[in-house]
Amino acid sequence: MSQIPRDRSLDSTLALLLDGYRFISKRCERYRSDIFETRLMLTKAVCMRGEEAARIFYDGDRLTRQGAMPVPVLKLLQDKGSVQQMDGQAHRHRKRMFMSLMTPASIQQIGDLFADQWRTRVGMWKDRGEVVLHEEMQEILCIAVCRWAGVPLTAAEAKQRAREFAAMIDGAGAVGPRNWRGLLLRARTERWIRDVIEKVRAGELTVAEESAAHAIAWYRDPDGELLDTKVAAVEMINLLRPTVAVAWYVTFAALALHEHPACRPRLEAGDGDYLECFVQEVRRFYPFFPLVGGRVQNGFEWKGYHFAQGIWVLLDLYGTNHDARVWDEPDVFRPERFRRWDRNAFNFISQGGGDHHESHRCPGEWITIELMKRAVTLLTMAMDYDVPEQDLRVDLSRMPAIPKSRFVITNARLTR
Ligand code: HEM
């Protein structure tokens, strides 16, 4: 067996916080290897990047997500008891419930709710002067996804709930106060959603049969049991929070339109193929989920390296999306590249890799793409706005990254 290249430093936790999205790639280049071993939080970790690494990472049940993320991060994202923490048959059964919500009609419905809400809000921005697009998007998405899912949300509550979801996303990539704030606010969300599940089950809240609230409240595991209320709430939050997270991509899409105005004419002309390429390039190019973690379930060998049971493995999502062997000039924003993309399930992994039903790949990927398409269409075909002078730099050591000013616009008005 070969020896996995070993990082020199005793512990790389600080380096991870400093190098952020570039942490794994930088070291892969240093060691001329797609794999290296290091220590993070005093624990041995094997870091990997690239298509072949993704293939092994998302292949069957080699790796479990149990014990693969520090608890304060896990609590803010998928949480204990969630589909992501499951393996094998139990995972596939629960995942089927998530995938049953991703029908074309359902995706269209959330897209319509989002676009309607967006149009209503732009009307309200008229007298506001500056509007912070990133914050507005969180609220618009929060309202749209709650309606779609069958979760009651009053207009007065929307801002607060959107802030709670955003704090979970923002806190997941941090240690210290940003993380604690997320945990504190999440406790409120959990109480709110548990109450919704209880009301659906008690018949006090009627929801559409095809809604997510119905699917989760009445989902029965392979033993025929309903989910524990706490776990049902966790799964509901796992639909709501990541949909609010699409605000990060919408903000990056607005930034891309601003920084690459040459892309606009084809979008303004309603070129659907180009719209698809543009949205995919935003998901590839901009930094959002940096990496995912797994732990080896059953030891295996790969490329002459031994992966012992229990080893902690980190897969570089951002670095794989920027791999120059697949993506020519990866640090250039170029939507056209997606015309030639081979639709490979392992070389473009912003939302995980492999098969949506079989692996841990994100079930919300099609919803994400649809919402982004709606957003880009609205920004280019249905409204005018100005982008005043501001600090739009994106710091790659901040996870999750976002333009510093969070994209401020002025004079926003609907044109059609
Ligand atoms: C903002 C865009 C999004 C990004 C960047 C994203 C990213 C990801 C990634 C990387 C994974 C795989 C994690 C792993 O391998 O362990 C994942 C899983 C998951 N995502 Fe997303 N996601 C997004 C949007 C959504 C949406 C809109 C939903 C639901 C409507 C969703 C629900 C989930 C769930 C339930 C899982 C766990 C799947 C499983 O373990 O089988 N995500 N997401």
pLDDT digits (tens, 9 = 90+) for 170-196: 999 888 889 999 999 999 999 999 999
pLDDT given for residue 56 in this prediction: 95
Taking only the tens place, the pLDDT of each residue in 196-233 is 999 999 999 999 999 999 999 999 999 999 999 999 99
Look at residue 7 and tell me if it is in a domain. Answer: no
Calpha distance 93→86 (Å, rounded) = 10
According to the annotation, is 277 in a ligand binding site? no
370 CA distance to ligand 1 middle (Å): 15
Residues whose CB falls within 8 Å of the CB of residue 409, separated by 6 or more in sequence, listed in order: 130, 131, 133, 254, 385, 386, 387, 388
The alpha carbon of 395 and the centre of ligand 1 are apart by a number of angstroms equal to 23
What average pLDDT does this structure show over 354-369?
Answer: 97
How far is residue 277's CA from residue 339's CA, in Å, rounded to a whole number? 7
Angle (CA) 110-112-114 rounded to 5° is 70
Phi-psi region of 156 (alpha: psi -120 to 50; beta: other; left: phi over 0): alpha
Question: Which one-letter amino acid corresponds to residue 79?
Answer: D
Ligand 1 centre and the CA of 30: distance in Å?
31
Question: Does residue 289 line the site of ligand 1, with CB under 6 A?
Answer: yes
Does the beta carbon of 243 sit less than 6 angstroms from any atom of ligand 1? yes
Strand, helix or coil at 412?
A: strand
- The pLDDT score that the predictor gives to residue 98 is 98
Average pLDDT over the chain reads 96
Q: Which helix (H) or strand (E) holds 44?
A: strand 43-49
Distance 61 CA to ligand 1 centre (A): 18
Instruction: Identify the CATH number of the domain in which residue 211 sits.
Output: 1.10.630.10
| Of 314, 318, 362, 366, best ligand 1 pocket probe by most atoms within 8 Å of the beta carbon | 362
Question: Could you read off the pLDDT of 253-264 as tens digits, one per residue?
Answer: 999 999 999 999
Nearest-CA residue for ligand 1 atom 5 is 351
- Please name the residue whose Cα sits nearest to atom 6 of ligand 1: 351
pLDDT higher than threshold 90 for residue 242? yes
Assigned domain for 237 exists: yes
Nearest-atom index, ligand 1, CA of 288: 5
Among the ranges given (65-74, 195-204, 239-248, 383-392), the one the predictor scored with the smallest mean pLDDT: 65-74
Q: What is the DSSP letter of 20?
A: G
Q: 351: Cβ below 6 Å to ligand 1?
A: yes
Residue 8 confidence (pLDDT) above 90: no
Portion of the chain with pLDDT greater than 70, in percent: 100
- The ligand 1 atom at the shortest distance from the C-alpha of residue 317 is 10
239 C-alpha to center of ligand 1: Å? Answer: 9
* Backbone φ/ψ region at 319: left (φ over 0), alpha (ψ -120 to 50), beta: alpha
What pLDDT sits at residue 17? 93
Residue with tokens 């070129």: 271
Residue 60 has pLDDT above 80, yes or no: no
d(CA 40, CA 291): 14
237 ligand 1 Cβ < 6 A: no
Most confident of 61-65, 284-288, 296-300: 284-288
Centroid of ligand 1 to alpha carbon of 360 (angstroms) = 8
Burial class from Cβ neighbours inside 10 Å (0-12, 13-18, 19+) for residue 304 reads exposed
> Which of 76, 351, 373 to mutate to test ligand 1, by most ligand atoms within 8 A of the CB atom?
351
- Of all protein residues, the one whose alpha carbon is nearest to atom 9 of ligand 1 is 351
Q: What does the alpha-carbon distance between residue 369 and residue 338 come to, in Å, rounded to a whole number?
A: 14
Q: Is residue 79 part of a domain?
A: yes
Q: How far apart are CA 336 and CA 92, in angstroms?
A: 35
User: Which pLDDT score is estimated for 59?
Assistant: 85
Assigned domain for 1 exists: no
If we measure between CA atoms, which residue out of 396, 405, 415 comes closest to residue 255?
405
Taking CA atoms, 151 is separated from 142, 147, 213, 349, in Å, by 10, 6, 7, 30
In this structure, the residue with its CA closest to atom 33 of ligand 1 is: 362
Residue nearest (by alpha carbon) to ligand 1 atom 34: 362
Residue 398 confidence (pLDDT): 96
Let me know if residue 197 belongs to a domain: yes
Using the predicted structure, report yes or no on whether residue 127 has a pLDDT greater than 90: no
Task: Name the residue range of residue 60's domain.
Answer: 13-414
Q: Is the CB of 98 under 6 A from ligand 1?
A: yes
| Residue 288 in domain | yes
In this prediction the pTM is: 0.97
Location of structure tokens 């923002």: 170
**Domain count across the chain:** 1
Q: How far apart are the first and last CA of the chain?
A: 64
**CB of 246 closer than 6 A to ligand 1?**
yes
Q: How far is CA 205 from the centre of its chain?
A: 30
Assess whether pLDDT exceeds 90 at residue 131.
Answer: yes
Atom of ligand 1 minimally distant from the CA of 101: 30
- Please write the tens of the pLDDT for every residue from 144-164: 999 999 999 998 999 999 999
Categorise residue 370: left if φ over 0, alpha if ψ from -120 to 50, beta otherwise. alpha
CA distance 27 to 158: 43
Secondary structure E strands in 267-391: 291-296, 300-302, 305-307, 312-316, 383-386
Q: Which class for 53: exposed (0-12), middle (13-18), buried (19 or more C-beta within 10 A)? A: buried
pLDDT at 175: 83
Cβ atoms of 186 and 168 within 8 Å: the answer is: yes
Is 249 near ligand 1, meaning CB less than 6 Å away? yes
CB 408 within 8 A of CB 137: no
Atom of ligand 1 nearest to the CA of 349: 10
Residue with tokens 């220590």: 39
| Ligand 1, atom 14: closest residue by C-alpha | 360
What's CA 326's distance to the chain center, in Å? Answer: 22
Whether omega for the bond prior to residue 400 falls within 30 degrees of 0, making it cis, is yes
| Inter-residue contact 316 to 353 (CB < 8 Å) | no
Whether 146 is covered by a domain: the verdict is yes
Q: Alpha-carbon distance 305 to 315, whole Å?
A: 16
Sheet holding 43-49, edge to edge: 35-40, 43-49, 312-316, 291-296, 63-64
Instruction: Give the nearest ligand 1 atom to 65 CA.
Output: 16
**Inside any domain, residue 6:** no
